[in-house]
Amino acid sequence: MTTASLLWGLLFGSLGAGYALYGKKQRALVPFVCGLALMGVPYLVDNALLLVAIGAALAAIPFVVRD
């Protein structure tokens, strides 16, 4: 695990926690699921570039797909 993947994981995990809390409070499924996925992806992906690509896609989904 490199420093870059650790820091990107921290960023996307924090963003995922925010999405999950927002989705739970507003009872919105898309932000909640994306938040859970953003918190879990850093544990599964070790490559920093792939982590950024997946994290950016998951972070953009709630803005594209509305409930």
**pLDDT tens track for 10-21:** 999 999 999 999
pLDDT attached to residue 53:
97
What is the rounded average pLDDT of the residues 2-29? Answer: 95
Alpha-carbon span 44 to 64, nearest angstrom: 25
What is the rounded average pLDDT of the residues 31-45? Answer: 96
pLDDT attached to residue 66:
81
Mean pLDDT of the chain: 94
Claim: this prediction has a pTM higher than 0.85: yes
Would you kindly state where each structural domain of the chain is located, as residue ranges? 3-64
